[in-house]
Structure 1
Amino acid sequence: MHPQKRPAGPQRTGLGILLICATCLIFAVQDGFSRILGAEYPPIFIVMLRYWAFMIFVLALVSRQPGGLRRAARSRRPLTQIARGVILVAEVVIMVEAFVRLGLVETHAVFAACPLLVAALSGPVLGEQVGWRRWTAIGVGFVGILVILQPGGGVIRLESLLPFAAALMFALYGLLTRHVARDDPAMVSFFWTAISGGIAITLVGIWDWTWLAPVDWLWMAALCMCATAGHYLMIRAYEVAEASALQPFVYTQLVWASIIGVVFFGENMRSNVAAGAVIVVMAGIFTLWRTQKKAG
């Protein structure tokens, strides 16, 4: 989801790439903070506090746009917009749970399948045609997932399916974002993402309210600042460069998250996870390239 206008002037692709890489680094650090807090408090509560900060950021942002809040709230597809917001916030909760149970390395390795799921679901959701080359890449990518999960080594742990479920939900969110983009400006979608998700998570998360320990308020503040800074840089990145040029660099978040997981949380980079992640990423990049080529 790219909450901004398509750039009208000359493309500053290099700047856009730097900004999206910085965004991915910040989001990886944010995931580290989520892992710390999610181990001590209910993930749904942590995500609720994070979304409150996100809502404040979005309200401040859209209020400065032409038409203000009234224009941002005016959607031609409000039910779909609400569904998008709810799906995204549920995906975030599942990811935080996965960070705690599996760690950053394995979670992001499996979650990297998201572009493949977008390609696979673009037919039934958007009515797009997926050619045999992309289906082949999708199949290869899922082989990579199997390499990561190692089903031949015994029963797959249920928690190992959490990042795959999150990737599936994020893919559906992305496709619904493309669907509403036919009728709603990007800033309208950005507004509804924050507000509908924030309201939904508050309705269920408020019951898990607990006071954070003093030091954990510092972690929470850092988490919210990362979320705000990351979204701002993401907006700037897509303002100065085309999404097709930036999308492959989103995979750098997997690299940063893996480094943080190994260095700061003592996670192991198992050989099957590394090999599977490479397969998934290469298949995803090929899928993105084929999608771009067909669109062009």
Structure 2
Amino acid sequence: MSARAPSPATTGLPATHGGDNPLSGIVMMLLAVALFSVMDTLAKLLTTDFPAAQILLFRGGVALLILAPLAWRLGGGLDLVHQARRAPGKLLLAGLLGFGALASFLMAWRELPLVELGAILFAAPLIVTALSVPLLKEAVGIHRWSAVVVGFAGVLIVLQPGGAVFVPAALWAIVGTLFYALWLISLRTAGKAVSSVLVAVTNALIMTVLALPFALWQWTPPSPEQAAGLVGIGLVGGLAQLCLVRAFSLAPAALVAPFDYSYTVYAAALGYAVFGDIPASSTWLGLVLLTAAGLYIIHRERLNARRSRSRAPVTGGE
């Protein structure tokens, strides 16, 4: 699961609920997660033949060709430029963290099965919850702290540190997940200053710019099939981001966010079909704990949001 555009449920960004269509929102979320799993499979296939920088270049560059015209149309054109000038530091930080996350995941994919890396990545919302106290000065109650502890127990079960299953690539997965969690937090602050569509475009732009010199230095000429795969990573990733944005415009975040965990099904199926990977029983046990912890945090966020709305003063109308 690559460093993708996060949902409002995990970033604290507002979701659009006007003209809700819950069923369509769920379908779009399932499609987005399926596309991300396909993108991850393509990336894992190509990590043994190409340097990470070359894959990052195609991931960012092709996605940028999809997202930039959409952002220009939805964001009001020159207004996006004015927004970027208001928060250049926040946009740069978000882009750097996103780049670091995906680069780390590409290194992890050389050895780790898709479903195991996906399990480790499910710890990101738990890390966000833990880090939101010192970094964002947010209050976290005993319920969410308990979920964090359970979730990290699930990570340890999947990783089995000190055991025969633990491999060096797992360290890259941990580093990538930490980058990813910090990226989510950076998007909270950036999203309060500029539009989410601008954040998505600048992330793709920064990834492209950073990867370009390293990709040219280590360039490996691809075959026609490999070139199609490299382009497919950016194309599928860009389409997946569009589906994700669409999902949260059609239905409330609390409804569609839990379907992010469908990645486990896609990753297990694709991992077996493409690589012959069969997840160990410890992986499934860890996934159960991680999924339960993540869903419980989403549930608590939903309750807190409902309480905040009920305590908010009513101004005008009913």
Q: Normalising to structure 1: TM-score of the pair?
A: 0.93
Are 1:72 and 1:187, in contact at CA under 8 Å, matched by a contact in 2? no
Letter in 2 for 1:61: L
Deviations 1:97-128 (A, max 9, x none): 21221121211111111111111111112111
CA distance 1:268–1:234, shift in 2 (3 Å): same
CA distance 1:103–1:177, shift in 2 (3 Å): same
Aligned equivalent of 2:40: 31
Aligned equivalent of 1:15: 24
Count of aligned pairs: 295
1:244 deviates by: 2.1
CA distance 1:292–1:204, shift in 2 (3 Å): farther
Aligned equivalent of 1:249: 259
Q: Does 1:147 align with 2:153?
A: no
Alignment of 1:210-221 (within 5 A): 210-221=220-231
Q: Secondary structure at the match of 1:11?
A: coil
Aligned equivalent of 1:65: 74
Aligned equivalent of 1:283: 293
Are 1:23 and 1:233, in contact at CA under 8 Å, matched by a contact in 2? yes
Alignment of 1:1-296 (within 5 A): 1=6, 6-68=15-77, 70-73=78-81, 74-75=83-84, 76-151=86-161, 153=163, 156-296=166-306
1:148 deviates by: 0.9
Q: Secondary structure at the match of 1:64?
A: helix
Deviations 1:176-235 (A, max 9, x none): 111122221222222222222222222433322221122211222322321122112112
Q: Secondary structure at the match of 1:102?
A: coil
1:154 deviates by: 5.7
Q: Secondary structure at the match of 1:81?
A: helix
1:2 deviates by: 5.1
CA distance 1:209–1:137, shift in 2 (3 Å): same
Q: After the TM superposition, which of the residue ranges 141-150 and 223-232 deviates more from structure 2?
A: 223-232
Q: Pairwise CA RMSD of aligned residues?
A: 1.9
Are 1:54 and 1:227, in contact at CA under 8 Å, matched by a contact in 2? yes
Gaps (5+ residues) in structure 1?
none
CA distance 1:155–1:59, shift in 2 (3 Å): closer
Distance 1:226 1:115 in 2: 24
Letter in 2 for 1:142: F
Letter in 2 for 1:191: V
1:292 deviates by: 2.0
Are 1:89 and 1:197, in contact at CA under 8 Å, matched by a contact in 2? yes
- The percentage of counterpart residues that share the same residue type is 27
Aligned equivalent of 2:315: none
Deviations 1:130-166 (A, max 9, x none): 1111111101111111111122536943321222221
Deviations 1:253-294 (A, max 9, x none): 122112111122111210111111111111111111112211
Are 1:86 and 1:197, in contact at CA under 8 Å, matched by a contact in 2? yes
Are 1:43 and 1:96, in contact at CA under 8 Å, matched by a contact in 2? yes
Q: Secondary structure at the match of 1:101?
A: coil
Aligned equivalent of 2:311: none
Are 2:17 and 2:251, in contact at CA under 8 Å, matched by a contact in 1? no
Letter in 1 for 2:49: E
CA distance 1:209–1:289, shift in 2 (3 Å): same
